[in-house]
Chain A
Amino acid sequence: DQQVKQNSPSLSVQEGRISILNCDYTNSMFDYFLWYKKYPAEGPTFLISISSIKDKNEDGRFTVFLNKSAKHLSLHIVPSQPGDSAVYFCAASANFGNEKLTFGTGTRLTIIP
């Protein structure tokens, strides 16, 4: 049972435009959500997080939005740059973020110069 779903395996975006990556979850106990970015031959690196007490969190070009009623979160990257080309994983945790992280299957983002 996939509790965290990323339904788009891949996404291509023109450089300078907005990239929007989506993630859905089914477990209502999840209260802490994270995005990780992964380049080939490297481990995932933490990008941005959001707790269930917020609906938006920004960090530079990256913004995460959380819609608890829809059990949906999204990552916006503006403007997209070639270095953003990577696989992006959505992850969720319960118990105020202290439980194990459950990951989605990832979305491969390609930025077209």
Chain B
Amino acid sequence: KAGVTQTPRYLIKTRGQQVTLSCSPISGHRSVSWYQQTPGQGLQFLFEYFSETQRNKGNFPGRFSGRQFSNSRSEMNVSTLELGDSALYLCASRLTGTVYSGANVLTFGAGSRLTVL
């Protein structure tokens, strides 16, 4: 069973540009979440999509947006890039299930490392 696939793995952008990151979840998983990882901040929640609808959103500015397609694939976009946006962006998928279900465990991709110069 293929895991969570993120593309691109590495990218370099300059301030003011925009970037789109892609995520293909595990087959059958309908929930996709995005996290930002920076040194000292751990994993910060960006948003979660389920069946093409945003279920939850973290405390990030409106420059960060996302969407989910009918095949559950997801993209996130960051516009007007700032130096502080340099980070590892992690996508994760899960089934979402019943009470305390193992289906609620997130499976992560390897991430997209964004460097803003």
Contact = CB atoms under 8 A, between A and B. Distances in A.
A46 B105 contact: yes
Interface residues of A, number: 28
A102 interface: yes
Interface string B85-117: 000001010001111111011111111000000
Contacts, number: 60
B43 A89 contact: yes
Given A32-B104, A51-B100, A43 B42 contact: no
Interface string A9-27: 0000000000000000000
A103 B100 CA distance: 17
Interface stretch (A66-74, A76-84, A92-100): A92-100
A43 B104 contact: no
Given A43-B92, A103-B43, A106-B42, A34 B105 contact: yes
Nearest to B103: A97
Given A43-B110, A46-B106, A93-B104, A100 B45 contact: yes
A99 B97 CA distance: 11
Interface residues of B, number: 29
Contact of A42 (B48, B98, B100, B110): B110
A45 interface: yes
Contact of A41 (B97, B105, B106, B110): B110
B108 A43 contact: yes
A105 interface: yes
Given A43-B110, A44-B90, A99 B56 contact: yes
Sort A-B residue pairs by CB-CB distance and give the 4 closest, nearest first: A43-B108, A105-B42, A103-B43, A51-B100
22 contacts: A6-B42, A32-B100, A36-B108, A41-B110, A43-B90, A43-B92, A43-B108, A43-B109, A46-B105, A51-B100, A91-B43, A93-B104, A96-B98, A97-B99, A97-B100, A100-B48, A100-B56, A101-B106, A103-B45, A104-B42, A105-B41, A105-B42
